[in-house]
Amino acid sequence: MANNIAETIVGAAVLLVAGGFLAYASQNADFGDSGGYPLTAKFFTADGVAPGIDVRMSGVKIGSVSDLSLDKKTFEAVVTIGVNGGIEVPSDSSAKIASDGLLGGSYIAIEPGGSEYALESGEEIERTQGSVSLIDLLGKAVHGATQ
């Protein structure tokens, strides 16, 4: 009888922990429409960018990448960014692909401009800087050092 009570208590504890994980995931995941709006940005190099990565302004997450495609005319990577509702991105802002340290993942960093006008839904961030390859930089440093 005591064995059944112990198993019941352990089972209830497991269910409570699982419920806690589900509650945490539902609060921190982007489910459905959050009242946000899409913006686009074109990059010559979009290494490390994939749907779902963070979009940050001043280090604070303001959205995520919702789509990544190739412009067949210019061969640039077209990144669609979902910005959370209530956040206005100034029209002269710039976007760059940054990384979380040497081994960290990539994210889109939006540097706000000083314009009083905000980008509307579907507009493009025109000033962009693509990702920088650490291997390319090391190769240039090594190649430059031998000459």
pLDDT, one tens digit per residue, over 76-129 is 999 999 999 888 999 999 999 988 876 778 899 999 988 899 999 999 999 998
Query: What is the pLDDT confidence band of residue 30, given thresholds at 50, 70 and 90?
Result: low
Residue 5 pLDDT more than 90?
Answer: no
pLDDT at res. 141: 80
Q: Stretch 29-40: mean pLDDT, rounded?
A: 71
pLDDT at res. 90: 92
Q: Facing residues of 87 across strands?
A: none
Whole-structure pTM value? 0.68
Residue 137 pLDDT more than 80?
Answer: no
